[in-house]
């Protein structure tokens, strides 16, 4: 799943920053951009499911992780990027976020004249590029998995 998140990040970066003159091509580009951002956010958030399943009973005990919810809470608290990915994944799936709702978070798709189309997160007034958020989530999970020898 780490490899999948890396591929989703690459797919996002392939289309981010581009623009198209032709209306049909632009619509296709924006759809690809939104789809790849959604896929990256969902993969980053749901990596926790896979990590939890790969953890042994001893690893769970040592890390104080009794349930998937405990691992998800740990991820949200330790990695703001993962918090943002959860928000985007949940909002995209359910059209809104009801659990752990945060009115200071939003996901925006925009086009800047010199920078092309992109997705960014607004987090308490601070704007963060989506690829940076996805990369930080990937780094978090990579570190967590390897530092704790999960899945070996």
pLDDT digit string, tens, across residues 134-145: 999 999 999 999
Q: Are 34 and 8 in contact (CB under 8 A)?
A: no
pLDDT digit string, tens, across residues 4-18: 999 999 999 999 999
pLDDT: which is higher, 140 or 102: 140
CA distance 140 to 35: 23
DSSP letter for 67, please.
S
With the C-alpha atoms ordered 12, 14, 15, 16, is the resulting torsion angle positive or negative?
positive
Evaluate if residue 119 carries a pLDDT over 90. Answer: yes
Sheet strands (E) in the chain: 105-112, 116-123, 126-129
Q: Are 59 and 148 in contact (CB under 8 A)?
A: yes
pLDDT digit string, tens, across residues 14-33: 999 999 989 999 999 999 99
Average pLDDT over residues 78-96: 83
Evaluate if residue 97 carries a pLDDT over 60. Answer: no
Evaluate if residue 115 carries a pLDDT over 80. Answer: yes
- Could you give the C-alpha distances from 12 to 28, 39, 53, 120, 132, in angstroms and in order? 14, 9, 27, 12, 11
Average pLDDT over residues 124-134: 97
CA distance 45 to 4: 12
Confidence band for 114, pLDDT divided at 50, 70 and 90: confident
Confidence band for 151, pLDDT divided at 50, 70 and 90: confident
Instruction: Provide the CA 126 distance to its chain's centre, in angstroms.
Output: 17
Q: What 3-state DSSP class applies to 149?
A: coil
Evaluate if residue 41 carries a pLDDT over 90. Answer: yes
Evaluate if residue 94 carries a pLDDT over 60. Answer: no
pLDDT for position 95 = 58
Instruction: Provide the CA 61 distance to its chain's centre, in angstroms.
Output: 27
- Domain limits of the chain? 2-147
CA distance 137 to 147: 15
**With a threshold of 0.75, does the pTM exceed it?**
yes
């Amino acid at each position: 799943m780490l490899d999948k998140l890396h591929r989703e990040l690459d797919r996002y970066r392939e289309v981010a920053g581009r623009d198209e003159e032709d209306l049909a091509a632009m619509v296709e580009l924006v759809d690809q951009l939104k789809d790849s951002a959604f896929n990256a956010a969902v993969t980053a958030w749901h990596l926790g499911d896979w990590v939890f399943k790969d953890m042994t009973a001893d690893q769970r005990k040592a890390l104080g992780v009794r349930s998937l919810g405990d691992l998800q809470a740990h991820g949200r608290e330790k990695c703001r990027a993962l918090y943002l990915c959860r928000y985007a994944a949940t909002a995209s799936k359910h059209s809104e976020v009801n659990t752990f709702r945060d009115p200071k978070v939003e996901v925006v798709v925009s086009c800047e004249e010199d920078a092309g189309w992109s997705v960014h997160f607004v987090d308490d007034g601070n704007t963060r590029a989506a690829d940076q958020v996805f990369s930080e989530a990937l780094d978090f999970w990579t570190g967590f998995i390897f530092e704790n020898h999960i899945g070996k």
